[in-house]
Structure 1
Amino acid sequence: MDSPVEIPFRSFIHLKPEQNTAIYLQIVFEFIKAIQTGFLPEGTKLPGTRILCKVLDVNRNTLIKAFQDLEAQGWIETLPNKGTFILSQQKSKADFPLSKEQNTSQINTGFTFQKSTILENPIETSNLPYQFNDGMPDWRLVQTDVLARLYVSKLKRRKSSKTYEQIQLRSHSNFKTHFSNYLNLTRGIRISTSNLLTTSSHEISLYLATKVLINPGDKVAVASPGYYMSNMTLTNTGAQIIPIQAHEDGIDTKQLKEICETSEIRVLYLTSNYHYPTTNSLSAKKRMEVLELANQFGFIILEDDYDFDFHYDNNPVLPLAAFDSNQKVVYIGSFGKSLPSGFSYGFVAAPSEFIKELEKHQNILEPSIDVLKEQVLTEWITEGEVHRLSKKNKKIYKERRDYFASLLNEKLKDKIKFKTPPRGLAIWVEWLDNFNLIQFQKECAAHDLFLPKTILYQTKNLTATRLGFGHLEKEEMEKAVDILSKCLEIITLNH
């Protein structure tokens, strides 16, 4: 490894003081980009802060703050009397040859435009026969015949004398009425149509909510470890991310209170029912504490209930929004994740004035309404088809969860620790041996198993993986876990 002083930081760390984004955040984004693109591979020793301050022409306190943020997110590690090192190596440029389109994009365009280093797509794809993900449903279980029949029946119905705008408005109003009733029934919340915004996806719901709630420089508290996609969305607003340690019973409410006493927190982003990635639920005691803290310090709770549809007991944990008497919770979620692509929905449930503001922005992003899709889903809700399909799928996924957990116990006994989650389509696995997850990923790939980097979590105190099981049948699970076991043996012997 070259001497850290000889690394040409100026060639790939580009700071722009004229921008509104704080310099320390620019440093964080630029270092993450440099790690992701391979300029700073795993094990690289960084120069001391005084030297690096001179190289980058920044204040030392600013650099220290940036490094603290990078270490909290697991990108670097500071060892006493040894220095600061790059902790997690992402895929380098050599692993991903540029496409013709990507090569073309390097040519000067003749004009300038804003470029985001925050929104670099972290998603990887692979053609390997066996693959894990972070908890996706199995599209093979989708009942396309039922959906197709309903869709075609709507198309064949006699044309109305009303204008398209009238049909659109009436159809959307009818859908929101039935959908709000469905949410009230299944999630225990109390909303009317004025408290509901429906969107084409969960991601659009999160984007709209953060755009209206957060201004550049606002402090946003998030659980750590957290969800990479939501962290990207939050960081893109210019927010300052404040990590809160997550435990088995949810976020550390004492730490949250201490931060609120010294800083003005604008938003707390929380996956309370099924924390991503650890699958833990926020305890009943902490739920009440979070609501009390929001009322005491005035922050907004952005509650993300991304996987409510997949719970396996008769008494699902209700969201914080069901107990929010002070209107401090903005509740976002998804609906129909087991439906074919294009039929699922995202939604936001919140005070009516906030929903009105969201609608202004949605009219730009999603100006039209898919009348046929809404009519089909309305019929599915009113006829009970949604409940029937949900019940059937939950039985299948519960069987898969139990079988996957038994395989992990059988094949990886004494090598891992995990809890069987009461909901969701993934299991959080903590590895007891100390090894490099990136090397493990490569070893698994050599044996036909793909582990995307988005499910790998490694810091100086944690080596863990979020293993999705929902998309796997029994034979696929058996093969995948066999490969995990074999590769773990190889990697630990060579460690």
Structure 2
Amino acid sequence: MLPFERIITIDRESKVPIYRQIAIAFINAISQGIIKANTHLPSTRDLSKLLEVHRKTIVAAYDELEAQDWVVSVPRKYVAVSAKIPNLKPKKWMDEVNESAYRALFQLPFKQIVVPKVKSNAQLPEVIIDDGFPDVRLSPIDDLLKIYRSYTSKKHSIRNATFGSAQGSLKLREVLASYLSETRGLNIEKEHLLITHGAQMSIYLAAQLLLAKGDVVVVGKPNYSKATQVFEQTGATVVEVGVDKSGLLVEEIQAICQQKAIKAIYVIPHHHYPTTVTMSIERRIALLKLSQQYAFAIIEDDYDYDYHYASSPYLPLASSPHQGNIIYIGSFSKLLDPSIRIGFMVAPFNFIEQGVALRKLIDVGVDGYMQNALAELIRMGELKRHIKKAKKCYFSRRDYLDHLLQEHLKSQVSYSLPSGGMAIWIVLKKEGLVEYLVQHPQLAIRRSAIELNAFRFGFASMNETELEQAVLLLKKIIEGFELQGVKGQL
């Protein structure tokens, strides 16, 4: 008789019921040719003694196997492996019969995406410096969730939510078209909007529709790395151009256009990511002229439009006269909460139509309740009131961080105070310092550039006490780094 006590192992700490563990063990043994077709299995009484479990557990396991056609049962006579099971080449029963197949690596060819190594902390660091998140404590999340809950209890609201299309809820698109027209000068209708799960999905959809292998797409250097990855995945050639205090160097773009055809340019003109600089009016006009002259698309990412402190926000490129070749992308994640994954794309209807078709291939539904709740929040004026309050608060926090940096780290850092946004781009003067900071266990920095010895310091999500704690910890770590350097020279 086969050594069933070795073939069938039971983990009494597992959340999987014991009868299921026994059934799965039999299935694995049969699949691997260890137990062949027509083999009679031990009686329920004998197997229960052998495995030291209750007889009813074995009965339940055999019933499970019979229900799945692995065995046939003749009452009061025997239980046997189904005759329909093909003869399989057996493996030795001791060769890790019960090992999960998913512990092995996938051996067939498949596409590989480069995943950057992320520092893993054994425990939560003392300070987390994000790359520019909103402060959820200020956000009208409670109001949003109250509206959400009310919609789940009304028949009319339930019908509206479940009847939504892949283009996004009709209510949100109608409200948002009006809101964007009023606040950003976009002359659009609901048909020109596609609601997405965050700005990242909008970038992905735009890239997939615009770019093919061999196409040239231009980005800033440095750039939002996730966008660069998306463009590279299409097979397109990514060409970088410089970024200075006035934004993308448009003269470099013109030089490229004179040498080769450009399919698209990805630009963040309002607060460039990661450096936070705002593109000048002169360069915006020049870029629009180049787009018309050389017939390339502009993917405009306007992720934090509303937070501009020195003046009113610059109107988007998309609000300027153009020939419909600007794909405008925005998000509510920077306004409300990073977990509220609602973004949007604005484009001519035929492009939106194809975006909807592509989106259906990867995401067939929408969160109609949340989208309609957000629409109601906008309609009630709550979003505008929140932006006004948050803008004043973030402006104060930016200036307080500036004060702290000047007081404690003036000789170690270099930066230009941004005119808006939710982060400061900090360049470190000591070579190799940013890499040291990124690896330090007491600190987590969300966005850094090792090659530029720089990082983004998100100030919006921290109150004054938290900002002071973060700067003092940075000072302490930098002093330790400098002390190591002195010791190394001795």
**1:437 has 2:434 as partner:** yes
- 1:197 equivalenced with 2:191 (yes/no): no
Alignment of 1:215 onto 2:207: no
CA contact (8 A) 1:171 1:375 kept: no
In structure 2, the partner of 1:451 is: 445
The corresponding residue for 2:458 is 468
Q: CA deviation at 1:317?
A: 0.9
Per the TM alignment, residue 207 of structure 1 is displaced from its structure 2 partner at its CA by 0.7
3-state DSSP class of the match of 1:303? strand
Distance 1:132 1:125 in 2: 15
From 115, 118, 124, the equivalent of 2:111 is 115
How far off is 1:129 after superposition?
Answer: 1.9
CA displacement at 1:301 relative to structure 2: 0.8
1:184 aligns with 2:184: no
CA RMSD of aligned residues (A): 2.5
* TM-score relative to the length of structure 1: 0.72
Aligned to 1:138: 135
Q: Deviations over 1:18-70 (max 9, x none)?
A: xxxxxxxxxxxxxxxxxxxxxxxxxxxxxxxxxxxxxxxxxxxxxxxxxxxxx
Shift of the 488–388 alpha-carbon distance from structure 1 to 2, 3 Å rule, reads same
Percent identical: 31
The amino acid across from 1:112 in the alignment is: L
**AA at the equivalent of 1:174:** K
Amino acid at match of 1:450: A
User: How many residues end up aligned between the 2 structures?
Assistant: 384
The structure 2 residue matched to 1:249, chosen from 236, 246, 250, is 246
Q: Hey, what does 2:60 align to over in structure 1?
A: none
Distance 2:166 2:423 in 1: 39
Assess if the C-alpha contact under 8 Å between 2:198 and 2:333 holds in 1: no
Assess if the C-alpha contact under 8 Å between 2:303 and 2:334 holds in 1.
Answer: no
Q: For residue 403 of structure 2, what is the amino acid of its counterpart? A: S
Alignment of 1:9-408 (within 5 A): 107-109=104-106, 112-118=108-114, 120=115, 126=121, 127-159=124-156, 172-340=169-337, 343-408=340-405
Determine if contact 2:397/2:460 at 8 Å carries over to the other structure. Answer: yes
Q: Distance in 1 between matches of 2:157 and 2:374?
A: 20
User: Post-superposition shift, 1:303?
Assistant: 0.8
Q: Deviations over 1:464-490 (max 9, x none)?
A: 221111222212211211121222223
Shift of 1:190: 1.2
Aligned residues of 2:307 and 2:313 also touching (Cα < 8 A): no
Q: CA deviation at 1:341?
A: 5.6
Larger Rg: 2
CA distance in 1, matches of 2:389, 2:421: 15
Q: Which amino acid aligns with 1:385?
A: E
Question: Residues 193 and 107 from structure 1, CA distance in 2 versus in 1: closer, same or farther, beyond 3 angstroms?
Answer: same
- The answer as to whether partners of 1:271 and 1:305 remain within 8 angstroms in 2 is yes
1:161 is displaced (CA, Å) by: 11
TM-score, normalised on structure 2? 0.73
The secondary structure found in structure 2 opposite 1:488 is helix
Matches of 1:294 and 1:211 in 2, distance apart? 20
Relative to 1, partners in 2 of residues 1:342 and 1:493: Cα closer, same or farther, differing over 3 Å?
Answer: closer
Distance 1:121 1:431, change over 3 A: closer
Change (3 A) 1:132 1:161: closer
Unaligned runs of 5+ in 1: 1-102
Contact 1:337/1:344 (8 A) holds in 2: no
Q: Which amino acid aligns with 1:491?
A: F
Does structure 2 retain, via aligned residues, the 8 Å contact 1:435–1:492?
A: no
Inter-partner Cα distance in structure 2 for 1:104 and 1:140:
45
Q: Note the alpha carbon deviations across 1:174-203, whole angstroms, 9 max, x for none.
A: 321111111111111111112111112111
CA 357–146 in structure 1, closer or farther in 2 if over 3 Å, else same: same
Distance 1:129 1:342, change over 3 A: closer
**Structure 2: 5+ residue runs without aligned partners?**
1-99, 486-490
